[in-house]
Structure 1
Amino acid sequence: MKIGFYPDVVNENATRIVASTVVVLGLLTIGLPNWISLGILFYGFTARVLYGPKFEPFAYIVSQILVPKWKIPFKPTAGPPKRFAQLIGFLFVLTAGSLFFANQTFYFRLTMSILVFFASLEAFVGFCAGCFFFAILMKIGLIPEDVCEKCNNLNFNK
């Protein structure tokens, strides 16, 4: 059963800009722990996992307004590995939220720091750790090849 719609091919440049918003919000949440910025992160990852950029404000603004206005080139990359990466981010924010509400400040900040580290790799270096692990899971057969036909046919997965 497919939930929502996530594009088969996405703009790598746009995903890096969205990752930078995760870095900024993550740092804000680590420095000033609060349920509002944590909630924004949670909503963002949830919306991106389920529907891609369509219902997530930062991703929508980046893909529909900033990319065209700034004439950022479309650099195609496969969508399913990016969706998998969003799922991992969702799990980190869910864990961080649980720790926040359990008053486990140290572990909350540690979890958020790990999320910010990996979002920083995506935003500033262009390395998607979730995509890397997606490729490994495909190679060992835990993710069927038909999940990512674009990965195989267009050789987006490096």
Structure 2
Amino acid sequence: MPKRQTLDSQQKSKRATNFFTFPDPVNEVAARSVALGVVIMVVLIITTHNRLLFIPLCYGFIARLAAGPKISILGQIATKLVAPNLPNHEKLVAGKPKRFAQGIGVVFSIAAAIAALATHSVLPSQIILALLGIAAALEAFFSYCLGCKAFALLFRFGIVTYNDCPSCVVQYAK
């Protein structure tokens, strides 16, 4: 009996570890759909000044960084509803740069939330949100991922290596 318990705990541990992974490759069409959702949230926050909207914005970035689209409402909508119903609904790209971009989104969204809560002016928060919104709009409308471009620079300078992202060699080793 102890052997079965060990196996069960190993399987549970493996499932938990697999849960907190980011997909590689990533469907860029779904990623662009997520970016459009971020643009919409940023515009809503800037225009309404509703600080409660920072909760889904920050949560979404943290969730996508931690587990890809699995626990992100916006990620689920993009991967299950929007992308599959678009023409040319799948274009696979390396996942690590997209995860890096989500990490940058975490930093910007939390910084904007802190600025909104810590200052009496909405301007600092709106500037940070505008930068986040511009980056998301570039991804959503032009398939230009600023986080991915920053990741590419890290790859070219040797900070990110082949071992960190084998699938990035095709994209970034130029």
Task: Tell me if TM exceeds 0.5.
Answer: yes
2:73 is aligned with 1:57: yes
Q: What's the secondary structure of 1:142's corresponding residue?
A: coil
Distance in 2 separating the partners of 1:111 and 1:33 = 14
The code of the aligned residue for 1:28 comes to L
2:103 is aligned with 1:87: yes
The code of the aligned residue for 2:160 comes to I
2:31 is aligned with 1:15: yes
Q: What's the secondary structure of 1:54's corresponding residue?
A: coil
Q: What's the counterpart of residue 163 of structure 2?
A: 146
Larger deviation, residues 3-12 vs 94-103: 3-12
Using the TM superposition, give the Cα deviation of residue 29 of structure 1 relative to its aligned residue in structure 2, in angstroms: 0.5
Distance in 1 separating the partners of 2:18 and 2:110 = 22
Kindly name which structure, 1 or 2, has the bigger radius of gyration based on alpha carbons. 2
Distance in 2 separating the partners of 1:74 and 1:94 = 31
Using the TM superposition, give the Cα deviation of residue 2 of structure 1 relative to its aligned residue in structure 2, in angstroms: 9.3
Tell me the percent identity: 35
Q: What's the secondary structure of 2:159's corresponding residue?
A: coil
Distance in 1 separating the partners of 2:91 and 2:62 = 24
Partners of 2:33 and 2:82 within 8 A in 1: no
The code of the aligned residue for 2:161 comes to P
TM-score (norm 1): 0.92
User: How many residue pairs were aligned?
Assistant: 156
Using the TM superposition, give the Cα deviation of residue 123 of structure 1 relative to its aligned residue in structure 2, in angstroms: 0.4
- Stretches of structure 1 that go unaligned for 5 or more consecutive residues are none
2:89 is aligned with 1:38: no
Q: What's the counterpart of residue 92 of structure 2?
A: 76
2:141 is aligned with 1:110: no
The code of the aligned residue for 2:140 comes to A
Distance in 2 separating the partners of 1:2 and 1:107 = 38
2:121 is aligned with 1:128: no
Residues 90-135 of structure 1 deviation map (CA, whole Å, 9 limit, x = unaligned): 1000100110101241111000000001100000011000000101
Indicate the structure whose relative CO is greater, using CA pairs within 8 Å and at least 6 residues apart. Answer: 1
- Stretches of structure 2 that go unaligned for 5 or more consecutive residues are 1-16
TM-score (norm 2): 0.83
Say what the alpha-carbon RMSD is for the aligned residues.
1.9
Q: Where do 4+ consecutive residues of structure 1 move more than 3 Å? A: 69-72
